[in-house]
């Protein structure tokens, strides 16, 4: 912020999507600042802005256009990224936000994005938070908070929900696999994750929606 009474500008990327819309409405209702809602479809972004309780400006944004992304981030105190897919975005938005003096929050990203950002060494005193969603994010923080300052013999956690799983989320989930993205069915015992015994299975029919959302992404 440039002054003590200045209203912070929050740049919300992917603000017209399923998660982005919810983030926009929640931040606006909380009065956290003026919103700049970026999306590929300006009409959709404008519809979300119209729902917000506070000041909100819709902006057309193409993440693949570096100049467009930098222009969007300029003047923001913080940039919140709700767009994906994570395996393509990585740290690119964070680096742009840092270059114009903004902090960064990403609902996804996970360790590969954080690793890339550290390697780029562009922080200059700025802050970036990755995996700020529910899972990953809150689902990883709660066990730490529960175990903090109290003896634990055993802790079992289960993560799930009934939230809408979009085609982009499905593609991101399938393509963000690897050493730094975590391991399914993992458990921790005495600070270590024991080897996992997996069984092979055959799927007779691949779900149609997965085939559709994966087409052209591999």
Residue 86 lies in a domain: yes
Whether residue 23 lies inside any domain: the answer is: yes
Which residues form the domain of 174? 152-214
Lowest mean pLDDT: which of 11-15, 127-131, 164-168? 164-168
Both 164 and 66 in one domain: the answer is no
In a domain, 57, yes or no: yes
- The verdict on residue 89 lying in a domain is yes
pLDDT score for 123: 65
Are both 72 and 174 inside the same structural domain?
A: no
Q: Which of 70, 97, 129 is the last residue of a domain?
A: 129
Domain termination residue (choose one: 129, 162, 197) = 129
User: Angle 41-9-125 (CA atoms, 0-180°, nearest 5)?
Assistant: 115
Residue predicted with more confidence, 153 or 127: 127
Q: How far apart are CA 218 and CA 214, in angstroms?
A: 7
Give the total number of structural domains in the chain. Answer: 2
CB atoms within 10 A of CB 178: 12
Distance CA 214, CA 200 (A): 22
Task: Please give the residue that has the higher pLDDT: either 109 or 198.
Answer: 109
Does 170 share its domain with 108? Answer: no
Which range, of 11-25, 119-133, 150-164, averages the lowest pLDDT?
Answer: 150-164
* Residues 116 and 172 occupy one common structural domain: no
Q: Residue 69 has what pLDDT?
A: 95
Same domain for 177 and 116?
A: no
Q: Is 1 within the bounds of a domain?
A: no
Instruction: For residue 83, give every residue at least 6 positions away whose Cβ sits within 8 Å of its Cβ, in sequence order, or none.
Output: 13, 14, 17, 20, 63, 89, 93
Q: Is 74 a member of any domain?
A: yes
Q: CA separation (Å) from 148 to 82, 142, 144, 158, 190?
A: 30, 10, 6, 19, 15
What band does 118 get if pLDDT is binned at 50, 70 and 90? confident
Assess whether 15 and 88 both reside in one domain.
yes
Answer whether residue 166 is part of any domain: yes
Instruction: From 129, 163, 193, give the residue that closes a domain.
Output: 129
Reply yes or no on whether the pLDDT at 97 is more than 60. Answer: yes
List, for residues 23-60, the tens digit of each pLDDT value.
999 999 999 999 999 999 999 999 999 999 999 999 99
Q: State the pLDDT confidence band at 182, using cuts at 50, 70 and 90.
A: low
Domain CATH code at residue 77: 3.40.50.720
Residues 100 and 203 placed together within one structural domain of the fold: no
Rounded to two decimals, what is the model's pTM?
0.73
Max avg pLDDT among 20-29, 105-114, 148-157: 20-29
Q: Could you tell me if 104 and 57 lie in one domain?
A: yes
Mean pLDDT, rounded, for 85-111? 87
């Amino acid at each position: 912020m440039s002054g003590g009474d200045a209203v912070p500008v929050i740049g919300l990327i992917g603000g017209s999507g399923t998660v982005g819309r919810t983030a926009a409405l929640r931040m606006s209702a909380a009065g956290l600042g003026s919103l700049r809602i970026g999306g590929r479809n300006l009409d959709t972004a404008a519809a979300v802005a119209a729902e917000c309780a506070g000041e909100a400006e819709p902006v057309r944004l193409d993440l693949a256009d570096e100049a467009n992304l930098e222009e969007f981030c300029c003047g923001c105190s913080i940039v919140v990224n709700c767009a994906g897919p994570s395996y393509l975005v990585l740290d690119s938005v964070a680096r742009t936000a840092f270059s114009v003096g903004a902090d960064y929050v990403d609902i996804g990203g996970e360790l590969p994005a954080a690793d890339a950002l550290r390697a780029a060494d562009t922080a200059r005193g700025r802050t970036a938070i990755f995996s700020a969603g529910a899972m990953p994010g809150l689902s990883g923080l709660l066990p730490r908070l529960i175990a903090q300052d109290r003896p634990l013999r055993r802790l079992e956690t289960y993560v799930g929900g009934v939230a809408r799983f979009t085609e982009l989320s499905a593609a991101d989930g399938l393509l963000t696999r690897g050493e730094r993205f975590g391991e399914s069915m993992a458990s921790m015992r005495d600070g270590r994750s024991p080897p996992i015994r997996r069984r092979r299975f055959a799927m007779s029919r691949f779900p149609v929606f997965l085939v559709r959302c994966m087409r052209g992404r591999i």
